[in-house]
Structure formats: C-alpha cells, structure tokens
C-alpha cells in the first residue's frame, strides 16, 4: 500500500469553485487529511470536509501552501491582500490560466516557491492530468507537490512554460472539447431515432471503451481506426467525411484557446 501524502499545514484555497472543488474532491477520495485546510471564498458556500471562511483575516495561521483557485482576472483584486500572508515558508500553487510565473513573482516576491499547475476536471475522480511548472521550486518542494498531485492522475513537470501552456490547451480545456464531441454523438444518435437515454449511454460507453482500449493497447489511434474500418465499408465512408475537417477544426480550436491564454498572460504582466 502506498503512503497517503500529507498536505502542508495549513493549506489555503483562495477561491474554490469548479476546479478547486474538483481537487478537494480528488484529495478527499484519495484519503488525504483535509482537517488543516481552509477555503477562502466570498460566498462562504461550504466545501465538503473543509473549513470555509469568507475573508483572509479569518483563515488563521499563515499558509505553508496556497492554491490560487480564482479567475485570472481577479489577480489584482486579491494579490494585494494575500501578499501579507505569504512568507518564505509558503509555496504558491497557481491554477490561473495564462498567468506566468514571472507575473506571480511580482505579486508575491516573498514566496518560498511558485508553481503553476494546470489540472483538468477529471482530477475529481482521480483520472485527471495536471501539468506542473516551477522555476524556483527546489527538489524538496517538487517532490512534495508531485506527491500531492500524483493521487489525482498523471502529473508531469514541464521543462518550460511554453510546453506547460501546450499541455493546458490539450488537457486543461480538453474535457470541454470531449464533452462537446460526446454531445454531438448523442445528438446524432437521437436524430436517428434513439431515445436520449440510449443515445447518451452508448455515446459515453463508446468514448469510455475506446479510451480504455487506447490506454491499454499501445498500437495507436490509426491502428484502432483501421481495425474498425474495413476497406470500402460503412466506417470508412464515415471517416472520409470526418477526416476532411476534424484536424483543422481542432487546430483552430486550440489556437483560439492559446490566443486567449496570451491575452491573459499579457494582462497579468506588470511591466
Ligand atoms: N474549470 C477548469 O476546468 C479549469 C481548468 C484549469 C485551470 N482552471 C483555472 O482554475 C481557476 C478557477 O477556475 P474555476 O473554473 O474553478 O472558476 P470558478 O468556478 O468561477 O471559481 C472561482 C472561485 O474564485 C472565488 N473568488 C472570486 N472572487 C474571490 C475573491 N475576491 N477572493 C477569493 N476567492 C474569490 C469564487 O468564490 P465564490 O465561489 O464564493 O463566488 C470561486 O470559488 C481559474 O484561474 C482557471 O483558469 C480551471
């Protein structure tokens, strides 16, 4: 049995909406002790198993780990207040899309280490992808952060911030794209006379089953498609249509997402 990692005491989540709660949920189901974790969010809405407060002043002792779980646009509202709680013993893990380490360093110069993490929603069920990137994180901090995110899925450290952004574009946003693909498959089934219940179940099971096959069978996507599509058969006729547009559409999709990331990065630069 592997050891259950311990969160630094105390750990703060500043902002804990969709992604913060996905991480908390994943940690909870991994058996990680959340009793010294505090969520700070203006609504004060409870997060299961974690003490929730509405302002930093009520959070208690200065944090050893702070997860920034608010929207990038909120950085300049929150950083001036949060800055006084950050010491050389604090590691900041930023989930903020686009915002570069250099911009975070300018806001939190006293922080012991600043790490960017780009998770995706399936961390909630511990099947996520979490890209990690840090310039000044020493080996001890890297091991500590790796140990915390590994129970939530695949958590690679990226060598540079550009590759970190690329993982974010594919994996961070990916569940939304895959959800749209599944929705389109469901609609296509419904349009052909299936009930919503049957169309939903077969679309989800088909994507799940194919993903499972792809993860266990290392022959690659072309080979999986080849095994489905017999020459001049029905699947091949369908692929001839799909292949005309899917690659270009995904390129365009990821380019749009990367452009927005650059805008957020630019907006967060102080100088
Ligand atoms: N969602 C994803 O799949 C995903 C993937 C990768 C990265 N991210 C990143 O994760 C971050 C959070 O995204 P999200 O989707 O979880 O957003 P979200 O659901 O809108 O949650 C935002 C959180 O920020 C809190 N907040 C707002 N103003 C605040 C303030 N002044 N002080 C403290 N907290 C404040 C909100 O509090 P209340 O709940 O009280 O309103 C809420 O808990 C973003 O930076 C995003 O780029 C998200």
Q: Which of 14, 15, 166 to mutate to test the pocket of ligand 1 (most atoms within 8 A of CB)?
A: 15
In the structure encoding, which two tokens stand for residue 112, read together? 């012991």
Beta strand pairing call for 11-14 and 65-68: parallel
Q: What are phi and psi for residue 50, nearest 5 degrees?
A: -130, 140
* Ligand 1 centroid, distance to 41 Cα (angstroms): 9
Tell me how many degrees the CA angle 108-132-261 measures, rounded to the nearest 5: 75
- Report the chain's C-alpha Rg in angstroms: 21
pLDDT at 271: 59
DSSP 8-state code for residue 170: I
For 202, residues 6+ apart whose C-beta sits below 8 A from its C-beta are 189, 194
What is the strand order of the sheet 113-119 is part of?
Answer: 51-53, 37-40, 11-14, 65-68, 91-94, 113-119, 128-134, 153-154
Pocket residues: Cβ below 6 A from ligand 1 = 14-20, 40-43, 45, 69-72, 74, 77-78, 95-97, 118-121, 172
**Cis, bond preceding 10 (omega within 30 deg of 0):** yes
Is 49 within 8 Å of 75 (Cβ atoms)? no
Q: To test the ligand 1 pocket, which listed residue (14, 17, 74) has its Cβ within 8 A of the most ligand atoms?
A: 17
Q: Which of 14, 38, 41 to mutate to test the pocket of ligand 1 (most atoms within 8 A of CB)?
A: 41
CA distance linking residue 15 with residue 21, whole number of Å: 9
Q: How many CA atoms lie within 13 A of 40 on its CB side?
A: 20
Please give the chain's pLDDT, 271 residues, in tens.
Answer: 468 999 999 999 999 999 999 999 999 999 999 999 999 999 999 999 999 999 999 999 999 999 999 999 999 999 999 999 999 999 999 999 999 999 999 999 999 999 999 999 999 999 999 999 999 899 999 999 999 999 999 999 999 999 999 998 999 999 999 999 999 999 999 999 999 999 999 999 999 999 999 999 888 999 999 999 999 999 999 999 999 999 999 999 999 999 999 999 999 998 5
Distance 242 CA to ligand 1 centre (A): 35
Residues recorded for the chain: 271
Write down the pLDDT at residue 1. 45
> What pLDDT does residue 195 have?
98
């Amino acid at each position: 049995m592997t050891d259950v990692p311990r969160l630094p005491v105390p750990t703060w989540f500043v902002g804990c909406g969709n992604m913060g709660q996905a991480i908390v949920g994943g940690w909870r189901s991994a058996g990680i002790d959340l009793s010294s974790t505090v969520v700070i969010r203006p609504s004060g809405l409870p997060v299961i198993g974690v003490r929730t407060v509405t302002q930093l002043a009520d959070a208690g002792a200065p944090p050893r780990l702070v997860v920034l779980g608010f929207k990038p646009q909120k950085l300049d509202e929150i950083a001036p207040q949060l800055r006084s709680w950050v010491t050389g013993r604090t590691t900041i893990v930023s989930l903020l899309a686009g915002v570069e380490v250099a911009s975070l360093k300018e806001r939190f110069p006293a922080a012991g280490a600043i790490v960017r993490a780009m998770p995706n929603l399936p961390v909630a069920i511990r099947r996520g992808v979490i890209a990690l990137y840090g310039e000044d994180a020493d080996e001890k901090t890297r091991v500590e952060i790796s140990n915390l995110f590994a129970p939530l899925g695949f958590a690679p450290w990226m060598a540079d911030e550009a590759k970190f952004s690329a993982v974010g574009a594919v994996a961070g946003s990916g569940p939304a794209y895959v959800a749209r693909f599944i929705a389109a498959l469901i609609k296509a089934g419904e349009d052909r006379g299936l009930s919503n219940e049957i169309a939903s179940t077969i679309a989800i099971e088909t994507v799940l089953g194919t993903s499972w096959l792809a993860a266990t069978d290392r022959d690659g996507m072309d080979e999986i498609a080849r095994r489905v599509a017999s020459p001049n058969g029905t699947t091949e006729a369908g692929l001839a249509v799909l292949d005309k547009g899917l690659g270009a559409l995904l390129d365009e999709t990821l380019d749009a997402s990367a452009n927005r990331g650059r805008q957020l990065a630019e907006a967060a630069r102080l100088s």
